[in-house]
């Protein structure tokens, strides 16, 4: 068994507390079976517990463990970031989803509402985000505005107590299932691009919202185009002040980077084997276990996985000192996205012909290839690696900023693609 980073006393106590909660919810047979690596007993315990994804989302969502960083009064633990890491590692260890169906709600919308929303908005939305009753999506990117998000063109025009929205978003993940969307729209086209934006909560069932799924490389339709035609949003659904949308959006984006930086492809899902020691199991499963190149690559990926964990702890410690996640979220996001691509490419290569062709009922290589194809998106979603590297260069290394030709220029006068 390869070594692991040791818990501090406080972390070990919290891990024990969370594991006891898991035993209470799932039964000790489940936990014992995983601890012993006994697959048959695990399957039986899972059947006996009558486990299903949606019920589980509600169970963990009603506990304080779904969002340990949220304040206690809104259903969290007012906890420290390492707690989130401990919870995720326990969930992964005991074969439970690290993120629920409402990743964008818990990871992005919730923290934005907590930071910028009114008391009424906090009361109305936060508990249903946690319980998974109301799924959220993020309506930011547009066909001409992705990396340069602040140049977006979707318009919101005030009409009494309402706003009338027209325009188009794209790449909107899970919009087809979402109850609410975080919408960034232009409310003042004459102001410079960052200053003329306002942030809204949009009920996705409002007349005039048209969601059209897009087919991806993997064959599934994870994201969508969303069109708005005279969509009316009550002013009470505005988050922050009129014109303050960029500040609110930055909270969403910073949290997105930290949420995505925690996602690492689980070695079991790409390499197969058991969770007790997936790296060793994978090495053992290779046709030529003593192949020095493969051994070296596995050792390298293992080391990278440990470095990533330590960097996450460091980023978490930095977050504890300040209110907002900082540029270290970008470091982790870039690293994790590229690491996931390396890991899934290695798994495909190491499996030879089985990496590209398989019999119809052979689910393992199919899932592995899906993972490999999906990993291509990792360096684009949540900010591309190129753009995040620019941010690291400017904010961490102190290099000169890219020239900003749009600074102070009204949005109507800037060049857009
Ligand atoms: C799987 C997936 C899910 C997504 N989900 C959502 C979602 O739910 N909601 C949402 O709003 N958006 C979503 N997005 C959109 C995502 O945020 C954008 O794709 C991303 O920000 C890049 O924007 P773009 O696609 O317009 O590319 P562009 O910004 O046009 O970039 C094209 C290329 O130019 C490079 N580039 C651009 N500017 C610079 C620069 N200044 N310096 C160096 N290189 C640069 C980029 O790195 C990239 O390689 C999703 C994307 C993916 C892939």
Q: Given 210, 245, 280, which residue is the final one in a domain?
A: 245
pLDDT band at residue 127 under the 50/70/90 scheme: very high
The CA distances from residue 12 to 18, 89, 258, in Å, are 10, 12, 23
Between 188-197, 258-267, 405-414, the lowest mean confidence (pLDDT) is in 258-267
Q: If you take atom 37 of ligand 1, which residue's CA is the nearest one?
A: 147
| pLDDT value for 266 | 56
Query: Which has the higher per-residue pLDDT, 260 or 219?
Result: 219
- pLDDT tens column, 40-78: 899 899 999 889 888 898 899 999 999 998 999 999 999
Claim to verify: residue 181 and residue 234 sit in the same structural domain = yes
Claim to verify: residue 273 and residue 312 sit in the same structural domain = yes
Claim to verify: residue 360 and residue 296 sit in the same structural domain = yes
Claim to verify: residue 364 and residue 266 sit in the same structural domain = yes
Claim to verify: residue 143 and residue 41 sit in the same structural domain = no
Look at residue 264 and tell me whether its pLDDT is greater than 60.
no
Does the residue 397 lie in any domain? no
Residues 301, 338: Cα–Cα separation, whole Å: 11
Percentage of residues in the chain having pLDDT higher than 70:
90
- pLDDT tens column, 312-350: 777 666 666 654 556 667 888 898 899 989 988 988 888
- pLDDT tens column, 151-202: 999 999 999 999 999 999 999 999 999 999 999 999 999 999 999 999 999 9
Look at residue 113 and tell me whether its pLDDT is greater than 80.
yes
Claim to verify: residue 269 and residue 342 sit in the same structural domain = yes
pLDDT band at residue 1 under the 50/70/90 scheme: very low
pLDDT band at residue 282 under the 50/70/90 scheme: confident
Interval between CA 314 and ligand 1 midpoint (Å): 27
| pLDDT value for 272 | 54
Claim to verify: residue 241 and residue 267 sit in the same structural domain = no
Q: Which phi and psi angles does 197 have, rounded to 5°?
A: -110, 150
Residues sharing a CB contact under 8 Å with residue 191, sequence separation 6 or more, in sequence order: 243, 410, 411
Look at residue 305 and tell me whether its pLDDT is greater than 90.
no
- pLDDT tens column, 201-250: 999 999 999 999 999 988 889 899 999 999 999 999 999 999 999 999 99
Interval between CA 359 and ligand 1 midpoint (Å): 35
Residues sharing a CB contact under 8 Å with residue 362, sequence separation 6 or more, in sequence order: none
Q: If you take atom 23 of ligand 1, which residue's CA is the nearest one?
A: 146
Does the residue 363 lie in any domain? yes
Which CATH number do you get for residue 210? 2.40.110.10
Interval between CA 380 and ligand 1 midpoint (Å): 5
**141 Cβ inside 6 Å of ligand 1:** yes
| 340, 305 contact by CB (below 8 A) | no
The CA distances from residue 268 to 29, 62, 152, 298, in Å, are 21, 28, 40, 13
**Segments forming the whole domain that contains residue 19:** 9-100
Long-range contacts of 203-211 (CB under 8 A, 24+ apart): 203/179, 203/233, 203/237, 204/137, 204/175, 204/178, 204/179, 204/180, 205/179, 206/231, 206/232, 206/233, 207/231, 207/232, 208/165, 208/232, 211/172, 211/175, 211/176
Does the residue 402 lie in any domain? no
| pLDDT value for 210 | 98
Q: What residues does 167 pair with on adjacent strands?
A: 228
Does the residue 107 lie in any domain? no
Does the residue 122 lie in any domain? no
Q: Given 199, 219, 245, which residue is the final one in a domain?
A: 245
Claim to verify: residue 226 and residue 272 sit in the same structural domain = no
| 273, 351 contact by CB (below 8 A) | no
Does the residue 163 lie in any domain? yes
Residues 17, 21: Cα–Cα separation, whole Å: 6
Q: What is the mean pLDDT of residues 359-373?
A: 87
Residues 257, 409: Cα–Cα separation, whole Å: 29
**172 Cβ inside 6 Å of ligand 1:** yes
∠ CA 244-208-240, rounded to 5°: 15
**384 Cβ inside 6 Å of ligand 1:** yes
Q: What is the mean pLDDT of residues 250-262?
A: 80
Count: domains in the chain = 3
**Which contiguous run of DSSP H or E holds residue 392?**
helix 385-395
Does the residue 139 lie in any domain? yes
**380 Cβ inside 6 Å of ligand 1:** yes
Looking at the CA of residue 144, tell me the nearest atom of ligand 1. Answer: 26
Does the residue 409 lie in any domain? no
**Substitution site in 381, 385, 417 for ligand 1 pocket (most atoms within 8 Å of beta carbon):** 381
pLDDT band at residue 398 under the 50/70/90 scheme: very high
Claim to verify: residue 291 and residue 210 sit in the same structural domain = no
| 110, 122 contact by CB (below 8 A) | no
Claim to verify: residue 190 and residue 225 sit in the same structural domain = yes
Interval between CA 220 and ligand 1 midpoint (Å): 19
Residue 59, CA atoms < 13 Å, CB-side half-sphere: 15
Q: What is the mean pLDDT of residues 127-151?
A: 95
| pLDDT value for 109 | 97
| 230, 164 contact by CB (below 8 A) | yes
**386 Cβ inside 6 Å of ligand 1:** yes
**Substitution site in 101, 103, 146, 377 for ligand 1 pocket (most atoms within 8 Å of beta carbon):** 146
């Amino acid at each position: 068994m390869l070594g692991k980073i040791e818990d501090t006393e406080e972390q070990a106590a919290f891990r024990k507390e969370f594991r006891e909660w898991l035993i209470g919810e799932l039964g000790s047979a489940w936990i014992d079976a995983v601890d012993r690596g006994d697959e048959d007993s695990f399957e039986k315990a899972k059947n006996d517990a009558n486990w299903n994804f949606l019920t589980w989302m509600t169970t963990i969502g009603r506990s304080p463990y779904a969002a340990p960083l949220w304040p206690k009064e809104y259903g969290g633990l007012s906890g420290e970031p390492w707690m989130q890491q401990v919870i995720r590692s326990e969930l992964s260890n005991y074969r439970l989803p690290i993120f629920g169906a409402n990743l964008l709600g818990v990871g992005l919308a919730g923290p934005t509402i907590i930071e910028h929303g009114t008391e009424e908005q906090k009361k109305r939305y936060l508990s249903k985000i946690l319980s998974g009753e109301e799924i959220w999506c993020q309506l930011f990117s547009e066909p001409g505005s992705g990396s340069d998000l602040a140049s977006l063109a979707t318009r919101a025009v005030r009409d009494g107590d309402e706003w009338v929205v027209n325009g188009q978003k794209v790449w909107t993940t899970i919009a087809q299932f979402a109850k609410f969307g975080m919408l960034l729209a232009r409310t003042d086209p004459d102001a410079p691009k960052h200053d003329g934006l306002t942030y809204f909560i949009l009920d996705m069932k409002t007349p005039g919202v048209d969601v059209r799924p897009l087919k991806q490389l993997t064959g599934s339709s994870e994201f969508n185009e969303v069109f708005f035609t005279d969509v009316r949003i009550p002013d009470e659904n505005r988050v922050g002040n009129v014109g303050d949308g960029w500040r609110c959006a930055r909270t969403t984006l910073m949290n997105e980077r930290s949420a995505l930086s925690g996602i690492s492809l689980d070695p079991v899902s790409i390499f197969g084997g058991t969770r007790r020691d997936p790296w060793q199991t994978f090495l053992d499963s290779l046709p030529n276990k003593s192949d020095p190149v493969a051994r070296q690559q596995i050792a390298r990926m293992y080391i990278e996985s440990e470095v990533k964990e330590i960097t996450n702890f460091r980023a978490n410690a930095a977050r504890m000192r300040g209110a907002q996640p900082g540029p270290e979220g970008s470091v982790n996001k870039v690293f994790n996205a590229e690491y996931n691509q390396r890991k899934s490419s290695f798994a495909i290569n190491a499996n030879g012909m089985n990496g590209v062709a398989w019999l119809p009922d052979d689910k393992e290589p199919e899932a592995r290839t899906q993972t490999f194809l999906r990993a291509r998106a990792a360096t684009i979603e949540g900010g591309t690696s190129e753009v995040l590297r620019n941010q690291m260069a400017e904010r961490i290394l102190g290099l000169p900023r890219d020239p900003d030709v749009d600074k102070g220029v009204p949005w109507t006068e800037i060049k857009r693609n």
